[in-house]
Amino acid sequence: MFDVAIIGAGMSGLICAQQLQQAGYRVVVVEKSRGLGGRVTTRRLQDTCADRGLSYLIANGELTTSLVELLTCQDILQVWTDTVHEFRADFGLKAVKGVPLYTAPKGMSAIARFLAKDLEIQLSKRVVSLSLFDDCWHLQFENSNTQVVAKAVVVAIPAPQALTLLKPIALPVVLDSLRQVEFSSCISVIAGYPANMPLPVWRSLTVIDDDTLAWIGNDSSKRLGMNTPVFVFHSAAKFAQTYIDTEDLQPIGQQLLNKAAKLFPELANPDWLQCDRWRYAFPTIPLADNCLNAYTPQPLLCCGDWCGGFNLEGAMRSGNAAAKQINQVLQPTSS
Q: How many residues bind ligand FAD (CB under 6 A)?
A: 33
Query: What count of Cα atoms within 13 Å lies in the side-chain half-sphere of residue 79?
Result: 7
Q: What residues between 208 and 237 interact with ligand FAD by CB under 6 A?
A: 234
157 vs 292 by CB, closer to ligand FAD: 157
What percent of the residues of the chain are helix, what percent strand, and what percent coil, each to the nearest 5?
30, 35, 35
**Nearest distance in Å: CB 74, ligand FAD:** 19
Burial of 82 (0-12, 13-18, 19+ CB in 10 A): exposed
**DSSP designation for 171:** -
Does the footprint of ligand FAD cover residue 299 (CB under 6 A)?
A: no
Does the footprint of ligand FAD cover residue 312 (CB under 6 A)?
A: yes
Q: Virtual CA dihedral for 139, 140, 144, 146, nearest 10 degrees? A: 40
**Nearest distance in Å: CB 244, ligand FAD:** 12
**Nearest distance in Å: CB 45, ligand FAD:** 16
How far is the first Cα of the chain from the last one, in angstroms, to the nearest whole number?
13
CB contact at 8 A, 101 and 58? yes
Please give the Cα distance from 53 to 50 (Å, whole number).
Answer: 9
User: Which span sits near ligand FAD by CB under 6 A: 42-50, 168-176, 255-263, 274-282?
Assistant: 274-282
**What sign has the CA pseudo-torsion 264, 265, 266, 272?**
positive
Does the footprint of ligand FAD cover residue 11 (CB under 6 A)?
A: yes
Does the footprint of ligand FAD cover residue 188 (CB under 6 A)?
A: yes
Does the footprint of ligand FAD cover residue 10 (CB under 6 A)?
A: yes
Q: Give the closest residue to 193 by CA, choosing from 221, 228, 226.
A: 228
Per-residue contact string for residues 146-165; x = within reach of ligand FAD by CB under 6 A: ----------xxx--x----
**Nearest distance in Å: CB 333, ligand FAD:** 26
**Nearest distance in Å: CB 115, ligand FAD:** 10
**Nearest distance in Å: CB 175, ligand FAD:** 16
Strands 147-155 and 2-7: parallel
CB contact at 8 A, 32 and 122? no
Q: What residues between 24 and 83 interact with ligand FAD by CB under 6 A?
A: 30-33, 38-40, 53-54
**Nearest distance in Å: CB 141, ligand FAD:** 8
Taking CB under 6 A as the criterion, the residue among 206, 237, 260, 305 binding ligand FAD is 305
Three-state secondary structure call for residue 173: helix
Taking CB under 6 A as the criterion, the residue among 109, 254, 311, 320 binding ligand FAD is 311
Query: Alpha helices of the chain — where are they, by DSSP H?
Result: 11-22, 62-73, 109-115, 159-166, 172-180, 237-243, 250-263, 312-330
**Nearest distance in Å: CB 283, ligand FAD:** 7
Does the footprint of ligand FAD cover residue 286 (CB under 6 A)?
A: no
CB contact at 8 A, 172 and 317? no
Does the footprint of ligand FAD cover residue 300 (CB under 6 A)?
A: no
- Which residue type sits at 125? K
Site of interaction with ligand FAD (CB under 6 A):
7-13, 30-33, 38-40, 53-54, 126-127, 156-158, 161, 186, 188, 234, 278, 281-282, 304-305, 311-312, 315
